[in-house]
Structure 1
């Protein structure tokens, strides 16, 4: 049971990271998504900049300890991504690219918003 819950947290963590990077795209459908997305981005940036431990990683490690008494060391990304799929030492580059994707999405949203304002001006 503990192992299954731990894997559930792994999947939730992956979904959060995908939403954090690409969730702004939902703003093209409905701008109300942007408030939630901005909170996710702010939380992620804060964790990285402040060097805090992610509560999802802490939860997963606790569940793994309950399951078999052992948990990996380091962060979620260090364990599942760096050294496995990407080379160790590429963390700063990956974080920068992650942020660049977010900024590009918001730039596209801003351009669309500005175009919409030109073609449909607000009359007061």
Structure 2
């Protein structure tokens, strides 16, 4: 059994994040909840992937924006067609690439910023350890 990774973070606007991750990145809504002990939430990902993202909003509280331009999620897409489709889907959904703070990511990838200021890199490369 492969462990699953959940990356969770707060937001002030779940509805604003949904198009970025669902329509742009192609994630599916895996689950959601409303007013669970004062929290609303949304889980997005791919059903068979070993990871998913959770965004939560605590009612009556403001979440801080992204701490820096170096807070990244990086998805390695070594297949040229898959990378081109992923970046085209982001742009078709209305998301424009931004210059990466670290120019390394601009060499073989495109960086996109979500409505909270967090960045996602679609890297056209094989991940090597």
Query: Between Structure 1 and Structure 2, which shows a larger proportion of helix residues?
Result: 1
- TM-score normalised to structure 1 length: 0.25
- TM-score normalised to structure 2 length: 0.24
Which structure ranks higher in relative contact order (CA pairs < 8 Å, sequence separation ≥ 6)? 1
